Every structure is written in C-alpha cells, then in structure tokens.
Amino acid sequence: MEKIENSIEGKGGSPLLDESGSALNNSHVRRDGKAVGFVLVHAGAGYHSESKAKEYKHVCKRACLRAVDKLKAGAKAVEAVTAALIELEDSPFTNAGTGSNLNLSGEIECDASIMDGKSLHYGAVGALSGIKNPVLVARRLLSEAQKGKLSAGRIPPCFLVGRGAQQWAENHGIPPCPSEKMATKFSLSAYKRNKRKMELAEKVETEQIQAKKRRQLNEHESGLENLGTVREIVVDLGDNDSACLDTVGAIVVDQEGNVAAAVSSGGLAMKHPGRVGQAAHYGCGCWAQNACNISPYSTAVSTSGCGEHLIRTMLARECSTAMQSENAHQALLEVMQSQFISSPFLASEDCVLGGVIVLRCCRCVDTQSSPNLQALLVEFLWSHTTESMCVGYMSAQDSKAKTHISRLPPGAVAGQSLAIEGGVCRLGSISD
C-alpha cells in the first residue's frame, strides 16, 4: 500500500501547526499553575467540501473554546471533553446529534461513548433516539458507575442501547427531544435522495433476477445489458454535505495531567434500525488512559470513519498502545498502515476508511522555571485514510483555537493511502 506522510519534523516530533500548516511559536508558557490544559477535536473523517470549510472549522473552534472554558474554570478532563462534544453534536453540519443521518425507517439513532483516563471508567449508548445530546447520557452512565454498585449489589450499566437507553436517560433527568427536531434540511434531503436510489436499485435487481430466470428457460431477453448493475446505484453519502461525514470526537488533557476522550455519531446513512457503530463500542470509538508504572505516557484517542472497519480492528485501543513507543509519529504511521489499512481482519475490503486523533502527554522538568516545577508536554497527531478530516486544537494558554482540514495529496487513493500530521505543545508549569 502507498504510504503518505504530510508532516514537518521538529523537536520532540512534529511542530505545533497553524491553519495553514506552518509551525507556531509555543514558547509562551504560564508558570503560575493555572489554566493548564489542551483539547483536540475532529468533525469527522470523510469529505469536507471547500464551500463549507468555514462552517466545519467554525464548529471545531467553538468546541475547543467550550472545552478550554471548562479547563480554565478548573474542570476535569471528562467535563471538558463533554463540553466539546455537546458543541459538535449541536452543529447541523456534523453527523452527530442534531443533523444526524436517518436510518432506513427515516429515524435518527445515535451512538456515543466517553472514557476517563484516570479511573478508566467508560460509558456508552447505542442506537439511541429521542435525546439531543447522546454524549450526556454516556457521561451520566460513567459518573453513575463511579458511585459503585446499585441496590442489592447490582452492577451499574456502562453501555445501554435503544429504548432502554432513552428510558434510563429520562429517568436520570436528561430531557427527551423529538427526532424530527434533530433532523435538518440536509439530513432530510439526503434521506429522500437515498430512498429513491434504493428503490431504483431494488427495481433493477428484480428485473435482472427475472431476466436470468428467463434465460435459464432459454427465453431470449433483449436489451438486458442496458439495465445496468446494482453496484452502479449506490447510496449517496451526502453529495459533499455533512451527511457524508461520520463520527465527531474530542480528546483532552487537564491541568493535573488527566486525559479523557469522547466520540459521537449519527451512524451510516440508511443504516438498518438498531445498528450500532464504533462510536459506542469499547476500544473502537475512543480510548483514554493515564500513565502508570508500565505505561509512561497518558494517551487519548478518538476515531471516525466506517464503523464496521473500526470495530473489527479496535483502532482506538491499538493507537493508544502504539503511543507508548518512543517516536509517536512513526508509531501512529505504522499502526494505521499495519493494523488498519493492511489489517488481516479487513483483508476482504478494498477501501478501508477511517481516521483518528491522538494525543499523549507526560510530565517533564520545567527548566525555564524551577527544578521543583514540572510542565506537561503534549504530542498530538491525526491521521486518516479518507479524503479529508477536519480538526481543531487549543491549549488553555491560547487566545483562540487553530483549525485545519487535512486532505490526502493529489493522486492518493482514499481507503488505500493515509495522511498524518500533528504537533507538540508544552503546557504551563504545575507543582510536583
């Protein structure tokens, strides 16, 4: 497979990039122990049209600002990552929450999950209808699990689906929202367009079957070659609008060095009711894990793309494990190539579609301040095999978020090639 690297090597890996991909000066560091943290978000791996690039970047900027506002107020990573996801879900341009793809029945069913790197607790919902912000339910599941066992020694759930998930959410104070209020003109028009194409495909398939039977009875069927094939009539994933995008997500490190990750998705267009994508599956949609004795780096990952491909490869956890290597950039490049594009679990696929955002962080001595103080060094990366991926990032010291639409270079083949970019950010000093 062709391998493509779109990054600029720098001290400790790749440099911090601005919207044009140029290196930023990250020497400004606060040393008072306040407002330390970092957030990286994505608005889906898929196709981002130039005509709507501003909208995609704008929602990523808002998501970053929401998370940083939480961090500045002293919130933990889990709360900050939840705030970022709410902003992404509320945007009509993303396939998550409001504006999600409609399923075969014309309904919205969402998946979401969140993971806390400190406690390693996880919460998820799948095929959830009637809730505006699925990530809130996942977050509440996580927090309820942290309280311990239920009455009579019952184990609290960490993953709920369908009607049961909706009932649980309402019972825990999360208000319902009719699906029709979550649909947008983009998602509705895509559904109607796809439904017509499916009806045409079914008609062609029926005619082909009937013609084959007639041939078997030695009946001549003229003009069969003009029927076309079902493969030529594919479900439209959006015609360059938001419906072609999959999961949105965010990863955060807070002032204590704790990490958290979250992911949310409306799923594939015209999916079967009840289908649950990678956004809800453990180790597939997101992963967060604080450093420990055997793992020197804290890591956080959020994925996007074709859910079935990401589920079969457990890409989020694979990327997290790879980030313990000395060279983060090379490690991500290798895991995307060997464990995703060339994965034996996807050997039958000729187009493997997905993307990830990854960060890892560790504490280091702040030589600019005092040997008794430490700084957080954050390396952040993103990689994708889709045509493009929109990302945004911001530290608590930044005045505004940076955004970037990463694209495969000209001539690269989506699903067979990959792009990888990223940067390094040194956060303010904290007490040891």
Higher pLDDT residue, 25 or 284? 284
Average pLDDT over residues 416-424: 96
In this prediction, residue 367 has a pLDDT band, given cuts at 50, 70 and 90, of: low
Host H or E run for residue 338: none
Higher pLDDT residue, 234 or 309? 309
CATH number at residue 166: 3.60.20.30
**CA–CA gap between residue 77 and residue 289 (Å, rounded):** 12
Asked whether residue 129 is domain-assigned, the answer is yes
Above pLDDT 70, what percent of the chain?
82
For the chain, the domain total comes to 1
Asked whether residue 2 is domain-assigned, the answer is no
261: phi then psi, degrees, rounded to nearest 5:
-140, 150
In this prediction, residue 205 has a pLDDT band, given cuts at 50, 70 and 90, of: confident
Higher pLDDT residue, 240 or 189? 189
**CA–CA gap between residue 165 and residue 379 (Å, rounded):** 36
Give the residue among 111, 115, 66 at the shortest CA–CA distance from 86. 66
Asked whether residue 99 is domain-assigned, the answer is yes
Predicted pLDDT at 96: 96
Catalytic residue list: 247
**CA–CA gap between residue 235 and residue 398 (Å, rounded):** 42
37-248-75 Cα angle (round to 5) = 30
Average pLDDT over residues 129-146: 97
Asked whether residue 415 is domain-assigned, the answer is yes
For the chain, what is the mean pLDDT?
Answer: 86
190: phi then psi, degrees, rounded to nearest 5:
-65, -40
Asked if 402 and 18 touch (Cβ cutoff 8 Å), the reply is yes
Residue ranges with strand state E in 306-369: 354-366
Asked if 81 and 67 touch (Cβ cutoff 8 Å), the reply is yes
Asked whether residue 89 is domain-assigned, the answer is yes
Above pLDDT 90, what percent of the chain?
71
**CA–CA gap between residue 18 and residue 11 (Å, rounded):** 16
Asked whether residue 202 is domain-assigned, the answer is no
Average pLDDT over residues 395-415: 94
Predicted pLDDT at 2: 37
Question: Burial level of 404, CB count in 10 A (0-12/13-18/19+)?
Answer: buried
- Tell me the pLDDT tens digit for each residue of 70-104: 999 999 999 999 999 999 999 999 999 999 999 99
Asked whether residue 289 is domain-assigned, the answer is yes
Domain hosting residue 422, numbered range: 38-181+239-431
Asked if 313 and 346 touch (Cβ cutoff 8 Å), the reply is yes
- Tell me the pLDDT tens digit for each residue of 208-229: 887 777 777 765 544 444 444 4
Predicted pLDDT at 295: 86
Give the residue among 121, 123, 95 at the shortest CA–CA distance from 110. 95
Asked whether residue 154 is domain-assigned, the answer is yes
